[in-house]
Amino acid sequence: MKLKINGREYEIVSGPGTTLLDVLRYELRLTGTKEGCGTGSCGSCTVLVDGKAINSCLVIVGEVEGKEITTIEGLSRQGKLHPLQQAFINEGAVQCGFCTPGILLTAKAFLDSNSHPTESQIRQAIAGNLCRCTGYDKIVRAIMSVADS
């Protein structure tokens, strides 16, 4: 089976019933995608599939064959950070960083569909992504700063 990840084709040996998260982390060694719970309730495994944020621990690779998958490793292009990545750095939205890849991808998908959200829309949008370190304050501000610019 072939998967298209960050614009590149990968030949996969894991069976079609393997979760996308396991394929990313264990087979392809794309370890930027994190596993916080494995049951769809923390968002740390979020990746984009055809531009939509999904929990990769809940999806099996058979379902995403032929689709465009973006992981955190593919968010910056040609060494240039995505504005959200830069904003997360500048605003202090990163502490331990374990939630960061998932929240960045959730935020990207959200801003792609709603470029001028309110604070409460941002909070709703990232409500599926837990962060235990930051209290969300600086994460929300970072996303707002990108939305405003």
- Rounded CA gap, 84 and 140, in Å? 11
**Using rule CB under 8 A, residue 126 touches another protein:** yes
Return the residues of window 43-82 that contact ligand FES according to CB under 6 A.
Answer: 43-45, 55, 57
Q: Are 123 and 90 a contacting pair, CB within 8 Å?
A: no
Q: Which stretch binds another protein (CB under 8 A): 13-21, 48-56, 58-66, 70-78?
A: 70-78
Assign residue 122 a region: left if phi > 0, alpha if psi is -120 to 50, beta otherwise? Answer: alpha
Of 98, 121, 123, 145, the residue at the interface with ligand FES (CB under 6 A) is 98
The one-letter code for the residue type at 102 is G
**Regarding beta strands 2-5 and 68-70, do their DSSP bridges make them parallel or antiparallel, or are they unpaired?**
parallel
Q: In the block, which residue shows the tokens 């292009």?
A: 77
CA-based diameter of the chain, in Å? Answer: 44
Q: In the block, which residue shows the tokens 């916080």?
A: 36
**Using rule CB under 8 A, residue 123 touches another protein:** yes
Q: Which stretch binds another protein (CB under 8 A): 13-21, 58-66, 92-100, 109-117?
A: 92-100
Nearest approach, Cβ of 78 to ligand FES (angstroms)? 27
Which of another protein, ligand FES, none is residue 126 near (CB under 5 to 8 Å by kind)? another protein
* Residues at the interface with another protein (CB under 8 A): 25, 29-39, 41-42, 44, 71-73, 75-76, 81, 85, 88-92, 94-101, 104, 119-120, 122-124, 126-141
